[in-house]
Each structure stands twice: as C-alpha cells, then as structure tokens.
Amino acid sequence: MRRRSRRAGNFPRDRACFTVRAARQSRLLAIPSLPLATDAFILAKRPSSDAFQGFSAFSPSQGLLLILQRLSRKSAASATPLDLFDEVALLLESPNQGQTWFVKEARLVQRSAGIGTSYETLRLASALANLIVRNPVPEESRPAVAGLLRTAFAAFASDPRPDIVYFKSLYRFARDEGYPLKQHWFPTLPAADRATVAALVNQPLAGQTAPAAEVTRLLRRLEEYLRGHSEILLE
C-alpha cells in the first residue's frame, strides 16, 4: 500500500515535468513566421472579424495573396488602412507557410479614389479585379498583369468611359494569356465590327467615340468567345 501511495503522490509532479518537457519540445519544433516584402494591388475584400479585415491582393512576384490587416480603433500616423484598388508596398508575415499573410507595415503607392465616384465605374473596376482573383496567373505573366492593373485602375479613376477601359483590359488580359484573339476571334466579326474593335483596342481612350451600346454588344461577343474557347473564368 505504501508503494502505491508513493506512486500516487509522485504523479502530479511527473505530469508537471512531462508538461514542461512537451512545452519545450513544442517551442523547438515551432515553425518561424515567414516574412515577405512585396508590392501588391488590393483586389477584393474578404470576410472580416472583430480584429482583422481580410483582402485578396495581387503581387507581381507572388501572385494572389490572402492578407489580413489588424483593425485599429486608435488612429496612428504609421497605419495605412487598405482600400480596394490601392497599389501598396507591404511588409507581411505568415505563420502558416504562406496560406495567409498578416500586414506588419503598409505604405500607399497609388490610390485610385476616382473609381468610387460612379456606380458603373466601380462595377467594372470590381469586375476586372475579380477576374484576376478567379484566374490563377502563371509566374511569367504576373508582371504583365500588374502593369495591366496599374494602367486600368488609373484609367477607371480618371476616364469617363469605364466600358471601354474594361473592354481594353479584358482583351489585353486574354491576349497576354496566349489566346489568339486577333487570329481566331477578330476574323469572325463583320467588317464594321472589326473596325470598331480595332479602334477600341488600339486607340487611346481620349480618342474613343464608340457608342456605349456598341461597346456593350462587342464585349458580349468577346465574352462569349472566351467562354467557349478559353479557360478564363469570367464569373
């Protein structure tokens, strides 16, 4: 009985020692947070919590990232609240090997504030942003997509023809992804439509005069072709 009593009396101390050893081993095996410094475009808001706002962001070097920014009730000069269509320089940290990234520092590079002044502009700029979110961009194409986003968001913010900005952007995205629009889609159009598409694609925005109804009709033709002849997810 005394032997049984000694074991019972030693058990809490043994368990405590085991807990300490397990904690030490856990610390030794813990994977350190992964740091990342990158520029990025904020494309979409994700569900938020009481403490963090989530975003889908596109990095020219990393592709699509899920980032989380802490929501602060106190204003701080060093804090830059992220917003849709921002181009930002980020210092990130991931505790799970890149599945999610926490914003440690953020510096605003360019804010396209004019996008929010028109519902149609906001709708089409969001459509372009979501196009990039839905379609994985291969590493070799990421710099071109970053250039497309920079050009398109600036145009959406300043030009009165968001329909033409979106048409140009979708055409450029599909072309840069390797789809032969000029060789396969363009020849299927009537002569008058080919002339209009050539102007939409090649002329600067300032010189565009195509009626909105024509742009919408041709955009539908382009989207119909891409649904049937590409792997691009439009919606």
Domains in the chain, ordered, with CATH?
34-110 (2.40.50.140), 116-229 (no CATH)
pLDDT of residue 207: 86
Q: What is the C-alpha to C-alpha distance for residues 143 and 61, in angstroms, rounded to an integer?
A: 7
Q: Strand runs (DSSP E) across the chain, as ranges? A: 34-46, 52-59, 63-70, 87-94, 101-110
pLDDT of residue 30: 56
Pairing of strands 63-70, 101-110: parallel
pLDDT of residue 150: 98
pLDDT of residue 31: 62
Q: Tokens for 219, please give them.
A: 């955009």
Residues of the chain scoring pLDDT < 50? 1-13, 15-20, 22-23, 25-29, 75-78
pLDDT of residue 1: 40
pLDDT of residue 178: 95
pLDDT of residue 193: 98
All residues at 6 or more sequence positions from 108 whose CB lies less than 8 Å from its CB, including other chains:
80, 86, 87, 88
Q: What is the C-alpha to C-alpha distance for residues 33 and 182, in angstroms, rounded to an integer?
A: 47
Q: What is the C-alpha to C-alpha distance for residues 159 and 152, in angstroms, rounded to an integer?
A: 10
What is the b/e burial string over 155-170, where b = at least 16 CB atoms within 10 angstroms of the residue's CB?
Answer: bbbebebbbbbbbbbb
Q: Tokens for 116, please give them.
A: 């929010």
